[in-house]
Structure 1
């Protein structure tokens, strides 16, 4: 009896990692007006950000529904397997609730649903940990317990390039966005209690990198040689610059690279870079 790891497309897992660990990913829907796309299937991150540039209104997203989870869980049960399902934060989508409802409808005790309380590759980093544990032969119950502990240690920082999309999404007033643009203010966000929240702001891209250097120095006792994740929204060059800083200062055992998808990208816009790690 195998333990399968299932997640949603907001985890932004690179294709090679999904294949390597046999992770099943259920897509959210991304809606530009009347046209809907399966996130990561019909619409790649690159195509999403191209469409976002010319969109007059922000796209909307639709959660993975109960029916999709039921179909997935039926396959798991028919194969005689168990599953650990890790969704994006329940504060940002109804996907977690849909997964719980589907598991209850199936009446099976072999499917466990976890609210990651994160998004994008912050969530993806937790999924990879679960997949590693499943590969090592750990039980479903042990994986669930370990993921609960890992979630408490997970940290995610997001360096935003423009305030335009935060304004479009209702996170900033027009005046704040205009002034921020004139002053070249770069917000720094983090995930707090399952939601995106402001952490700091700097003036200019170079100061974002300097802030990151100071953060790594200040939080040095938190870092171990565990894997870390970097992910970008249509700005691989800035991501690589931030990776160089981290590689020199904290020496992680492995650095994962990924691309921000539609959910975080809708509010961050192109040009953001994010960093996720597990505290000691």
Structure 2
């Protein structure tokens, strides 16, 4: 049986410790900021993006690796006779999946999975794949099982300000102004069928108060939730906001593992600071 290598796009937003723990090989997406190209999580950070926006009013453009880059990424293992399982950013959001599929067609034993998701919604599937590799499962079976789990991921976020969405052309000026004037903080969720983001419930009030209501709303159907792990993923926010959500989960919901991660450049450049989500799987 071939050894299986696990690969994922940088948008899985796992911490360095989790990447090391689960032996994940990361393929960075591209960040084009102020006429310079960077690699997500390698030579640019979300704080660099925020600082550039504050100083110059410029937001980056993000793009997927091209098929040649994916070929080079996978080939370092297929040339050694290994199989590769790669989990991509959702095809409804990015061309990453299509480009990695094109690369897989040129190489043996590369299994590309469309996460249908982003951030640690992807990360949940990456960890599920890693656990199957640890159990000695073959790549083809991992591919089958992770595809079946995709619809069980629940990924959503609360956005504090619509500024970055507006500047990036993803919401209207009217929506941006109205949200700021009325102190509205919309939740954004991933549609597992299309893999695209949709607007969920709109909250109103201070961010700590909103985060409590949002977390309870996401976890209210407790009987359906897989309690193995939950992610609290943020784009850079006050530690008090993270603690508010973490303590609420600890006190009211019995997850075996609460993982806290910070979103990378690709996600942060679209939502801006003070975005926070809880991401988990259903049974």
Q: Name the TM tier (shorter chain).
A: over 0.9
Aligned mates of 2:53, 2:131 — CA distance in 1: 35
Q: Find the counterpart in structure 1 of residue 185 from structure 2.
A: 186
With over 3 angstroms needed to count, the CA separation of the structure-2 counterparts of 1:137 and 1:47, relative to structure 1, is: same
Equivalence map 1:49-64=2 (5 Å): 49-64=50-65
Q: Deviations over 1:204-239 (max 9, x none)?
A: 224423422541553111223211111111115212
User: What is the SS of the residue equivalent to 2:86?
Assistant: strand
Aligned mates of 1:202, 1:45 — CA distance in 2: 25
- Structure 1 position 14 matched with structure 2 position 39: no
Q: Find the counterpart in structure 1 of residue 231 from structure 2.
A: 229
C-alpha RMSD of matched pairs (Å):
1.6
**More deviation in 168-177 or 20-29?**
168-177
Is the 1:31–1:37 Cα contact (8 Å) retained in structure 2? yes
- Return the TM-score normalized by structure 1: 0.94
- Structure 1 position 149 matched with structure 2 position 148: yes
2:259 to 256, 259, 268: 256
**More deviation in 55-64 or 253-262?**
55-64
Q: Find the counterpart in structure 2 of residue 127 from structure 1.
A: 126
**More deviation in 202-211 or 229-238?**
202-211
Equivalence map 1:108-123=2 (5 Å): 108=108, 110-123=109-122
Please report how far the alpha carbon of residue 55 of structure 1 lies from its aligned counterpart in structure 2 after TM superposition.
4.2
Q: Find the counterpart in structure 2 of residue 47 from structure 1.
A: 48
Aligned mates of 1:158, 1:52 — CA distance in 2: 22
**More deviation in 147-156 or 204-213?**
204-213
Please report how far the alpha carbon of residue 276 of structure 1 lies from its aligned counterpart in structure 2 after TM superposition.
0.7
Aligned mates of 1:6, 1:158 — CA distance in 2: 25
Please report how far the alpha carbon of residue 10 of structure 1 lies from its aligned counterpart in structure 2 after TM superposition.
0.9
Q: Deviations over 1:140-197 (max 9, x none)?
A: 1221121112111000110111011121122222122112111111111100121111
Aligned mates of 1:120, 1:143 — CA distance in 2: 20
Please report how far the alpha carbon of residue 48 of structure 1 lies from its aligned counterpart in structure 2 after TM superposition.
3.1
With over 3 angstroms needed to count, the CA separation of the structure-2 counterparts of 1:55 and 1:61, relative to structure 1, is: farther
Aligned mates of 2:225, 2:176 — CA distance in 1: 34
With over 3 angstroms needed to count, the CA separation of the structure-2 counterparts of 1:179 and 1:216, relative to structure 1, is: closer
Q: Which runs of 5+ in 2 are unaligned?
A: none
With over 3 angstroms needed to count, the CA separation of the structure-2 counterparts of 1:267 and 1:246, relative to structure 1, is: same
Is the 1:45–1:259 Cα contact (8 Å) retained in structure 2? no
- Return the TM-score normalized by structure 2: 0.93
Aligned mates of 1:77, 1:51 — CA distance in 2: 39
Q: Deviations over 1:1-32 (max 9, x none)?
A: 31111011111111111122221101111111
